[in-house]
Chains A and B, each alone.
Chain A
Amino acid sequence: MKITYESQRLSLRFFLLMLILFAGQVAYGMLLAVQQVDPTILAGTLSFNVVRASHLSLGILWIICGFIGATVFVAPLLSKREIASQWLVKLLFYALIILAIWNISTQTLAMQGIAGWWKGQPWLQNGLEYLEGGRVFGIGVLVGFLIFAFVVLRTFPNFRKWNEIHWGLGLGISALAVVWVFGLFYISRIDLQEYFRWYVVHYWVEGVWEVIHISLVGVLIVIMFKASVRAVGFAVFWGISFVWLSGLIGNAHHYFWIGTPEFWQFWGSFFSALEPLPLIFCFWHIYLDAHVNKRPLDNAPAFYFLLGSTILELVGAGILGFTMTFALTNAWSHGTWITAGHGHLALFGTFGMLGIGAAYWAVAAIRNVPDFDQRIGRFGFWLLFIGMLGMAMSFAFGGVAHSFVARVLGLEWTSGDIGPAMSTFKLILPIFGFVFTVGALVIVYDLLTLGTHKAQPFEVPSATGWRKAMTGFEAGTWLLFMCFFGLVITFGLLAFNLPIVREEGDPTLPYLLSAVGYTGLFAATIAFVARFTASLDSRLRTTYPEIATPDLAVET
């Protein structure tokens, strides 16, 4: 656990910035949760829409920071040389700080209705969900992405010598900039605007971030478990292929109700139902790689977050995405809190946890503190994990009630008629939000002070019962459990179409099915991660000889 190339240290500043922006996003999120309970708080001073815009923008920015940090950390290993054009990497860091401050400040202009229209484009703020930044911000980000891609491609070896990981990371980072361009134009038609807005949002997440995610997870698995680059390369290639094969037309699930033709309902329902497949594939691979040589964990928090990233990707993006991907279920989930549950789990889970996991590995390696106290990080992981699952559950339950009152009963006074039905869940949301916030603070504190606390000797548990080594059959059984509860949720949403719900206004069936489905899914998720990590803990029992990290730059 120490670095091979001096320029790997450059990643440290991006992880630091990531933590600051993460803390900021959590603070904004907490404020949003409180405003959901009492809409009068700061209304007109820091209105909900401004807070939400900052919450979303910061979410994207800190995830990007995590990607840059992780990439800068692994690029020398993939290239067997120092990072190229290091002054550009330093420039990128300051550019990110300026962009973040600029973005947060310009969002407040929405309260005065100032978008900075000039030459037909909004230069100061854009007022569209996920693309809230104005053109000044957008062009700044584009330049930043181009610098990032330039540095990575210059550092990498000649592309004829690339293996699957180089291809995944190289394509993903170049595509970051390409896809971003679709969000840089004002479009007058709602249908066409939404069509292109999802190019950025969906293709970024599904086509680009996911590709970077798969590649980075691959690299980290090689570093952590000394897995074979060839086997990981196989997983990276097929993971990315499945993501694109399902996600390319799967984007159509955003085109059901935005004014585009009905035929998208067929294509979207069919292809995006396949979208969990690559995630199940990745899930399976992380199981295989973690069990390839039965080694104990050198850096438990790093692996916990990597595991959390893969599991929440499967549960949040895959399974919850699946439940609302059919036109017949999406008609009820669309425009409600149900989608917010999916969004939070998928975005923080998949990409946020990857960034934190990478930071744990990188910070420990750069500071060369193999014997740091790992208990704080593990504790922080569980707070974040349970906090986020609890928030997703509040969103999901609140969303089902939201959908019933708003869509079935046709009542639309959000704080009047819909509010009472959602009130319990609006209260639970900040409670889990608080748990999450504490988790975030613990993680920030731990990463900042990593290495100052030394590991305490502790008794290694015996590998029996709950802690015994996990077999592939058991992992598969847990996976089946999760998928089963996902199906229950899907049936709960489908039940909205039944005459007894839709015409007689009896919500029992969808309420019951979603109560069982969501509770079961989240309980199974927590239990599985607890079981998985417990089985790894008991590996500390024996000491293993040090194995060198495989050559990541190898041609496959």
Chain B
Amino acid sequence: MTCTTSDDKSCETPRRHGALWVLSLMVVIFVLLSYFSFIDERGQVVPDQISYKSFSADEGKRIFQAYNCMGCHTIVGNGAYFAPDLTEQYKYTGPAWLEAFLPAAASWPTAAAVRVHLATPEQLALAGVSSFEEYLEKYPGAAERIDRRAGKISHMPNLAFREGEVAKLIAFMKYSSAMNKEGWPPEVRTGSLENRLALAYGPAVLPMAAAVTSVAATTNTTNLVALGERLTAEYGCNACHATDTSRRIGPGWGDLFNSMVELADGSTVKADKTYLTEAILNPNTQLVAGYPAGLMPAYNNLIKPDELEAMVAYLASLSNVGNEL
């Protein structure tokens, strides 16, 4: 301090030079550390090594930035703190749950909505499982969410994803899951989900949702329309379809039955029982104009014929155009 008031700079100048030397040394240290952080020998996963379906993790990262996902979520802990961290979502919930959730993010997918993405051997192979039950075991996040939230609204807005964007995002999340993050987020050591919920809410008030009543228990009804309505809830159809004429992700059901529908190839078709049955089982064969292919999953391995009949009857009941089956 004495150097500041005295006219003699002799002790101040060497000190200042010393500070600049130490600073240079630190630059060298920092550059070296940075070099060793990104050399191949480190074995860190890079986007080129990860793909999902035919899409690379890099394509996914571009979609991730385009929707500014970081503005609500976090990735490797950075971003906003408004929505869950996305880093380990793939590991936690698996590809089929994400496939079911992302196109209609405003509501939580039901078991059937996830199951439809595990209908083919290829889909099962993508998730690395042989059955839906095994999937729930391998991806505890999917099981927990189906148990506790299926059919409820989420707070994520529906995003109008273009064709392939959902799969690209999954490729990106697969990559972030696979990265070595040096132990972050910290491993959870507080036991089972029941135990952790009890710690959060107290043992008395567990908000375990009895999400949607099992349909199997109520199929003895003779009322086809009521059964159809319950089935659409069970399969999670309402996530994408409104019961009036408004467009959610897919077309609204109001006044749909027996109306004339314009298809992507320019032709027009009557939305009768035959058409709607086919549209549920194999949605991509007669695509409606204005909707991308692959948006709606095919339900042909999942929905039984009598269930299908009830669901079409329910759709007919929502139409004033003419509801004769």
Report the Cα distance A197→B79, complex, angstroms: 12
In the complex where A189-B47, A260-B37, A332-B186 touch, is A231 in contact with B4 (Cβ < 8 A)?
Answer: yes
Contacts of B69 in A (CB 8 A): 49, 127
Contact indicator A53/B42 (Cβ below 8 Å): no
Contact indicator A113/B30 (Cβ below 8 Å): no
Contacts of B71 in A (CB 8 A): 47-50, 52-53, 110, 127, 129, 132
Report the Cα distance A405→B196, complex, angstroms: 9
Q: For residue A401, give the distance in angstroms from its CB to the closest CB of chain B.
A: 10
Contact indicator A331/B186 (Cβ below 8 Å): yes
Contact indicator B70/A129 (Cβ below 8 Å): yes
Within B23-47, the residues touching A (CB, 8 Å) are 23, 26-27, 29-30, 33-34, 36-38, 42, 44, 46-47
Contact with A along B156-196 (1 / 0, CB 8 A): 01111110010000000001100111111110111100011
Contact indicator B72/A49 (Cβ below 8 Å): yes
Contact indicator B76/A234 (Cβ below 8 Å): no
**Interface check A512, CB cutoff 8 A:** no
**Interface check A265, CB cutoff 8 A:** yes
Report which of B75, B159, B179, B197 forms a contact with A113, defined as CB distance below 8 A.
B159
- The total of chain B residues at the interface (CB under 8 A) is 83
**Interface check A248, CB cutoff 8 A:** yes
**Interface check B74, CB cutoff 8 A:** yes
Chain A residue nearest to B3 in the complex (CB)? A234
Contact indicator A265/B182 (Cβ below 8 Å): yes
Q: How large is the interface on A (under 10, 10 to 19, 20 to 34, 35 or more residues)?
A: 35 or more
Report which of A110, A117, A267, A337 forms a contact with B33, defined as CB distance below 8 A.
A267
Contact indicator A335/B185 (Cβ below 8 Å): yes
Among B55-63, B234-242, B267-275, the stretch in contact with A: B55-63
**Interface check B84, CB cutoff 8 A:** yes
Report the Cα distance A245→B162, complex, angstroms: 48
Q: For residue B36, give the distance in angstroms from its CB to the closest CB of chain A.
A: 7
Report the Cα distance A416→B201, complex, angstroms: 12
Report the Cα distance A336→B12, complex, angstroms: 44
Report which of B57, B148, B160, B176 forms a contact with A112, defined as CB distance below 8 A.
B160
Contact indicator B23/A115 (Cβ below 8 Å): no
Report which of B44, B66, B70, B181 forms a contact with A115, defined as CB distance below 8 A.
B66
**Interface check B22, CB cutoff 8 A:** yes
**Interface check A334, CB cutoff 8 A:** yes
Contacts of A264 in B (CB 8 A): 33, 37
In the complex where A48-B80, A407-B186, A411-B200 touch, is A132 in contact with B68 (Cβ < 8 A)?
Answer: yes
Contact with B along A411-425 (1 / 0, CB 8 A): 111111100110000
Report the Cα distance A485→B189, complex, angstroms: 29
Report the Cα distance A161→B33, complex, angstroms: 37
Within B76-116, the residues touching A (CB, 8 Å) are 76-85, 92
Report the Cα distance A132→B68, complex, angstroms: 8
Among A7-15, A67-75, A251-259, A460-468, the stretch in contact with B: A251-259
Report which of B63, B78, B162 forms a contact with A335, defined as CB distance below 8 A.
B78
**Interface check A192, CB cutoff 8 A:** yes
Chain B residue nearest to A45 in the complex (CB)? B157
Report the Cα distance A339→B299, complex, angstroms: 45
Q: For residue B305, give the distance in angstroms from its CB to the closest CB of chain A.
A: 37
**Interface check A44, CB cutoff 8 A:** yes
Contact indicator B68/A125 (Cβ below 8 Å): yes
Contact indicator A410/B188 (Cβ below 8 Å): yes
Q: For residue A19, give the distance in angstroms from its CB to the closest CB of chain B.
A: 26
Contacts of A260 in B (CB 8 A): 37-38, 182
Contact indicator A127/B68 (Cβ below 8 Å): yes
Contacts of B19 in A (CB 8 A): 238, 241, 245
Chain A residue nearest to B184 in the complex (CB)? A257
**Interface check A474, CB cutoff 8 A:** no
Contacts of B72 in A (CB 8 A): 47-49, 52
Q: For residue B192, give the distance in angstroms from its CB to the closest CB of chain A.
A: 10
**Interface check A230, CB cutoff 8 A:** yes
Report the Cα distance A230→B9, complex, angstroms: 11
Contacts of A415 in B (CB 8 A): 154-155
**Interface check A545, CB cutoff 8 A:** no
Interface centre among B154, B161, B189 (most CB of A within 10 A): B189
Contacts of B85 in A (CB 8 A): 335, 406, 412
Report the Cα distance A410→B187, complex, angstroms: 8
In the complex where A129-B71, A245-B22, A257-B76 touch, is A409 in contact with B4 (Cβ < 8 A)?
Answer: no
Contact indicator B37/A127 (Cβ below 8 Å): no
Contact indicator A248/B70 (Cβ below 8 Å): no
In the complex where A189-B46, A194-B78 touch, is A409 in contact with B179 (Cβ < 8 A)?
Answer: no
Q: For residue B103, give the distance in angstroms from its CB to the closest CB of chain A.
A: 13
Chain A residue nearest to B39 in the complex (CB)? A261
Contact indicator B26/A188 (Cβ below 8 Å): no
* Interface residue SS majority, chain A: helix
Contact indicator A129/B76 (Cβ below 8 Å): no
**Interface check A340, CB cutoff 8 A:** yes
Contact indicator B33/A252 (Cβ below 8 Å): yes
Chain B residue nearest to A254 in the complex (CB)? B78
Contact indicator A195/B159 (Cβ below 8 Å): no
**Interface check B65, CB cutoff 8 A:** yes
Report the Cα distance A408→B185, complex, angstroms: 10
Within B136-167, the residues touching A (CB, 8 Å) are 141, 145, 148-149, 154-155, 157-162, 165
Q: For residue A266, give the distance in angstroms from its CB to the closest CB of chain B.
A: 10
In the complex where A334-B184, A408-B190 touch, is A237 in contact with B16 (Cβ < 8 A)?
Answer: yes
**Interface check A472, CB cutoff 8 A:** no
**Interface check A458, CB cutoff 8 A:** no
Chain A residue nearest to B153 in the complex (CB)? A40
Report the Cα distance A375→B103, complex, angstroms: 56
Chain A residue nearest to B159 in the complex (CB)? A113
Chain B residue nearest to A264 in the complex (CB)? B33
Contact indicator A39/B81 (Cβ below 8 Å): no
Q: For residue B163, give the distance in angstroms from its CB to the closest CB of chain A.
A: 12
Report which of B3, B62, B77, B145 forms a contact with A257, defined as CB distance below 8 A.
B77
Contacts of A420 in B (CB 8 A): 200-201
Contact indicator B196/A505 (Cβ below 8 Å): yes
**Interface check A91, CB cutoff 8 A:** no
Contact indicator A49/B68 (Cβ below 8 Å): yes
Contact indicator B190/A129 (Cβ below 8 Å): no
Contacts of A502 in B (CB 8 A): 186, 189-190
Chain A residue nearest to B201 in the complex (CB)? A420
Chain A residue nearest to B165 in the complex (CB)? A113
Chain B residue nearest to A126 in the complex (CB)? B65
Q: For residue B195, give the distance in angstroms from its CB to the closest CB of chain A.
A: 8
Q: For residue B208, give the distance in angstroms from its CB to the closest CB of chain A.
A: 12
Chain B residue nearest to A262 in the complex (CB)? B182
In the complex where A113-B161, A128-B70, A261-B182 touch, is A245 in contact with B26 (Cβ < 8 A)?
Answer: yes
Contact indicator B162/A113 (Cβ below 8 Å): yes
Q: For residue A464, give the distance in angstroms from its CB to the closest CB of chain B.
A: 31
Contact with B along A397-409 (1 / 0, CB 8 A): 0010010011111
**Can you spell out 25 A-B residue pairs with CB atoms less than 8 angstroms apart?**
A36-B82, A39-B82, A43-B157, A50-B68, A52-B71, A111-B157, A113-B66, A127-B71, A128-B65, A129-B80, A188-B47, A191-B44, A195-B34, A195-B38, A230-B4, A245-B26, A257-B182, A259-B182, A334-B77, A414-B83, A414-B84, A415-B155, A420-B201, A505-B190, A505-B196
Besides the known contacts A113-B67, A263-B33, A413-B84, 6 further A-B residue pairs in the complex with CB atoms under 8 A apart: A132-B68, A190-B76, A335-B74, A335-B85, A407-B188, A503-B190
Interface positions of B (Cβ within 8 A of A): 3-5, 12, 16, 19-20, 22-23, 26-27, 29-30, 33-34, 36-38, 42, 44, 46-47, 57-58, 61-72, 74-85, 92, 141, 145, 148-149, 154-155, 157-162, 165, 175-176, 179-186, 188-191, 195-197, 199-201, 207
